[in-house]
Structure 1
Amino acid sequence: MRLIKGMAALLLAASLPVAAEEIGTVSTVFKWVGPNDKIVVEAFDDPRVEGVTCYLSRAKTGGVKGGLGLAEDRAEASIACRQVGPIRFDGELKDGEEVFKERTSLVFKTMQVVRFFDRKRNTLVYLVYSDRVIEGSPQNAVTAIPILPWPTKP
């Protein structure tokens, strides 16, 4: 029974989007009370494609509401994904598969990254966008990685 529960937890964890690692931040607006407004640069590895790391920059609202996690962050984001090693797929890739998701307001708004595979050009395409339960935002950013052979060390 423990084995079944353990495997179920492992499968659930494998299907969830990954968490990002904070690379750095810069302050954009000074706040007298609470943290400053800032731009955060984060990195995450694609959980289904070994050898790909994505870098995401986005705004985080500060102040009292931001410090308590009650503020709504802006929808703008920038993304750059790069090949950082030999690319290997973990199973069949689904177009539009979510690879990263983070809440950007208390309840209704999220920022997410989805992946597409352009088979004709042998290229991975990543799209970042923000959505809201009632109304999304057309603001988005895209990056593409041509799948190239990775040089081996002599």
Structure 2
Amino acid sequence: MRGVLLAGALELISVSALAQTRIDSINTNFRWFGPDDKIIVERYDDPRVQNVSCYLSRAETGGVKGELGFAEDPSRFSIACRAVGLVTMPAAMPKTEVIAFSQASLFFKTFQIHRSLDLEKHVLVYTVVSTKLINGSPFNSISVVPTERQ
């Protein structure tokens, strides 16, 4: 069991090293103490598929807890993935894979971007979900990117 947890943690660490770019930060709620609540917009480039970028918007809790890193961000997010050039599906690619994640709390909650393949329709399906160590959330958002047929 520990081996599985360690492998999962190492996978998340390797995924977190992927390129992510903060595009915008939009204040949504004024806080007297600590930073305001925000909507964060970030770009994640698919590490295995050239010319695909996913744009994730997510809620970020401010205040004193948010500033200290103890706040848990709500499971409110949206994703839009786009072809930013010619997209071809690599030959040897897993049918499903976590391509990126973002911390939503100090320890146990993340937002993960999953890529799935629909080989019949020649599309890449990207889904963002919220996960927790014990209970995840049913909230999700999905985006689809067509690929060139080979």
Q: What TM-score, normalized by structure 1, do the two folds share?
A: 0.83
Count of residues paired in the alignment: 137
Deviation string for 1:17-64 (max 9, x for gaps)?
Answer: 224211001111100111000001100110000010000000000001
C-alpha distance in 1, partners of 2:148/2:89? Answer: 14
Following TM superposition, by how much is the alpha carbon of 1:92 offset from its aligned partner in structure 2, in angstroms?
Answer: 1.7
Q: Which residue of structure 2 lines up, in the alignment, with residue 97 of structure 1?
A: 97
Letter in 1 for 2:80: A
Going from structure 1 to structure 2, the CA distance change for 1:98 and 1:43 (only over 3 Å counts) comes to same
Letter in 2 for 1:34: G
Q: Which residue of structure 2 lines up, in the alignment, with residue 145 of structure 1?
A: 145
Tell me the secondary structure at the aligned position of residue 53 of structure 2: strand
The yes-or-no answer on 1:106 pairing with 2:114 is no
C-alpha distance in 2, partners of 1:109/1:128? Answer: 13
Identity between Structure 1 and Structure 2 (%): 46
Following TM superposition, by how much is the alpha carbon of 1:91 offset from its aligned partner in structure 2, in angstroms?
Answer: 5.3
2:14 to 5, 16, 34: 16
- Unmatched segments (≥5 aa) in structure 2: 1-9
Following TM superposition, by how much is the alpha carbon of 1:126 offset from its aligned partner in structure 2, in angstroms?
Answer: 0.1
Q: Which residue of structure 2 lines up, in the alignment, with residue 125 of structure 1?
A: 125
Q: What TM-score, normalized by structure 2, do the two folds share?
A: 0.85
Tell me the secondary structure at the aligned position of residue 66 of structure 1: helix
Shift >6 Å, 4+ stretches: none
C-alpha distance in 2, partners of 1:23/1:57? Answer: 10
C-alpha distance in 1, partners of 2:100/2:122? Answer: 22
Deviation string for 1:53-106 (max 9, x for gaps)?
Answer: 000000000001101111100112100000001224555221220101111111
C-alpha distance in 2, partners of 1:89/1:95? Answer: 11
Q: Which residue of structure 2 lines up, in the alignment, with residue 61 of structure 1?
A: 61
Q: Which residue of structure 1 lines up, in the alignment, with residue 39 of structure 2?
A: 39
Do 2:89 and 2:147's aligned partners in 1 also have CA atoms closer than 8 Å? no
Following TM superposition, by how much is the alpha carbon of 1:148 offset from its aligned partner in structure 2, in angstroms?
Answer: 3.9
Q: Which has the larger radius of gyration?
A: 1
C-alpha distance in 2, partners of 1:90/1:23? Answer: 28
Q: RMSD of the TM alignment (CA)?
A: 1.9
